[in-house]
A and B are shown apart, each in its own frame.
Chain A
Amino acid sequence: MNIEVAIVLGLLDGVILGFNIALVALGLSIVFGVMRIVNVSHGEFFMLGAVVAWYSVTLLNNFIIALIAAPLMVAGLAAVVDRFILRPINYNPENTIVVTIGLLFIIQQLVHIIYGPYSRPVTPPIYFRVDFPWFGYSGYKIIIAGISALLMVLTWFIIFKTKLGLYMRATQQDSEIAQAFAVPVRRVYVTALALGSALAAVAGVLIAPVQQAYYLMGLDALLISFMVVIIGGLGSLSGTLIAAFMVGVIDGIVSVFFSPTLARIVASLIVTLVLLLRPRGLFGAEAT
């Protein structure tokens, strides 16, 4: 395979990765935007999606079910976390970080116990090749892009075209005033958390046939989401999307030439550079 094809493939892979990262990072961004907290166990919700996909394919021979079951289960989990852990600490940012770290450990270990320590492949629901002039590309990966795009449009619709979305945007602007205008802030919070976590879960389901399901995969997803929201600016949805594709494509292309470990190192250093030059991110509107 010559170098140009390798680069194009890397680019394509990077774009697909970008779609996936975008979903996860979008979820994180929504939670931070509306609730002003960082859910450090966000990556574990992503991992749960992949694990549910494995169970769904292995036990029920059906992938599509996971696309529905995983986000629902994770949304339910998010609601429980909100009610019993986040509300008692009043969504205090620093304390939330600590308890969600704890949650990360618990979820990770439970999956370790139940699912096991191994990385297991998940058969894709469809396998076909799309033939381009010089190479073939996995049709499933294109489907990932398609579904991700659909979900992003759906999310956009929810946030900008529905009453719930209006409530969320109002709460993001100023939760006290929103409350004064009878916005049910508590319900908005739990919905935002459920929505954001569900997005991560779906991303996990979608990428499972490509990446395999592994109980530690959440950490990597978390780190990448963090990098993306920093570059894009916490609270800026469009920034998050742009940054996600940037990170995905950079990772994809660098991976053609270097090992994944090095690719990650390079990407991380780029992120830090951005953060230092522009502490608010490229598009950030939020102050820390």
Chain B
Amino acid sequence: MKLENRRRILTTHLSIILVLFLLQFVVPPFHATMLTRIMVFATYAVGYNLLLGYTGLMSLGHAMFFSTGLYTTGLTIYYLDLGIVEAFLLGILASFVISALMAFITLRTSGVFFLIITMIFSQVFYLTTLYFNNVTYGDQGFVLTGKLKPLELAGIIIDFSSNVVKYNFALTLFAFSFLLNLRLVNSAFGRILVAIRENEEKAEMLGYNTLGFKRLALIFSGIIAGISGSAYALIFSYVGSSFAFIHNSINPLLWTLLGGAGTTIGPLVGTGLMLYLIDFTSSLTPHYPILVGAMLIAVILGFPPGVVGGIRRRWLKWLP
């Protein structure tokens, strides 16, 4: 890859993060909250895209990864009075464990079977949260307000009930996932994932342990999704079964496709567009899922490469 391309790519990505950082100083509070939300879910989508867009594996079970982070962090704070840092780290650990487990169980299958089995596992997880609803409060969920103890970092008090803290925490996580993802896909590892997506048999005949790489991709993807779940618990202080339901697996699918699967910026764009669109429509009618459905069909029929995919194709060929 040419050096000037590398610089352009890095500059673009860093600029996006910079813009997101600066926006908090200029936008009204409503949009700041929207952006916080978008950044948390865009992190989720970035994780999802790694598996779908780059490795070519469609999962309908990512709600399970998201919820693992969500519940681990939420439950430990709620019942064990854990501090934010510990709860967050535990969330990451739990996501790793679940992702690794899934990687070894589900990746013996592929295609439709993989889709179905991820869906089933995710549904089992959802049902489990309902089954133990004396602990999890099921669909109703529970809130963490008042339980988030302020942190002290280098003499500064960080209080998670502050919107500034929420925004920048979300931004930090998003930036981390965003750049990590960029590093992964622009490396030999990323190239192998794409090879697996394009022609798995050939990749294997070139000597690549395709099963092993798919597992690694799933683990990365699951961990990032879990981190976004943990972040959600900390920022929005709410934990509920609805995040384990299948709709929360379909959401990142839509955001990724709309923004552009297989692009680094796509997930952010797709998440942003959809969340604003849904916010707008839900003020008109409670039946916004129709919009989600229509968007899914429209994207596939109308512009399969998604927004950023289309931009990459027509104008900015160097976008990763």
A and B touch in the complex (CB under 8 A): yes
- Would A261 and B130 count as touching, CB distance under 8 A? yes
Contact partner of B300 among A98, A112, A261, A288, CB < 8 A? A98
Residues of B near A275 (CB, < 8 A) are 109, 113, 117
Residues of B near A73 (CB, < 8 A) are none
Q: Which of B73-81, B85-93, B120-128 has 4 or more CB atoms under 8 Å from chain A?
A: B120-128
- Would B289 and A109 count as touching, CB distance under 8 A? yes
Residues of B near A93 (CB, < 8 A) are 111-112
Residues of B near A219 (CB, < 8 A) are 246
A262 contacts the other chain (CB 8 A): yes
Q: Identify the interface centre among B246, B293, B296, B299: most chain A CB within 10 Å of its CB.
A: B293
Q: A276-B108, A288-B112 are in contact. Are A102 and B287 (CB under 8 A)?
A: no
B116 contacts the other chain (CB 8 A): yes
Interface secondary structure of A, over-half rule: helix
Total number of B residues with any Cβ neighbor in A under 8 Å: 37
Q: Measured between alpha carbons, how far is A85 from B127 in the docked complex, in Å?
A: 33
Q: Measured between alpha carbons, how far is A98 from B112 in the docked complex, in Å?
A: 12
CB 8 Å contact bits of A182-211 with B (1 = contact, 0 = none): 000000000000000000000000000000
Residues of A near B300 (CB, < 8 A) are 89, 95, 98-99, 102
Total number of A residues with any Cβ neighbor in B under 8 Å: 41
A97 contacts the other chain (CB 8 A): yes
- Would B131 and A265 count as touching, CB distance under 8 A? yes
Q: Measured between alpha carbons, how far is A102 from B258 in the docked complex, in Å?
A: 13
| Least CB separation from A94: chain B residue | B58
Contact partner of B293 among A94, A102, A264, CB < 8 A? A102
Q: Give the A-binding residues of B (Cβ under 8 A).
A: 58, 105, 108-113, 115-117, 119-121, 123-124, 127-128, 130-131, 246, 250, 253, 257, 287, 289-290, 292-297, 299-301, 304
Q: Give the B-binding residues of A (Cβ under 8 A).
A: 32, 38, 85, 88-89, 93-95, 97-99, 101-106, 108-110, 112-113, 219, 223, 226-227, 230, 234, 259, 261-262, 264-265, 268-269, 271-272, 275-276, 279, 288
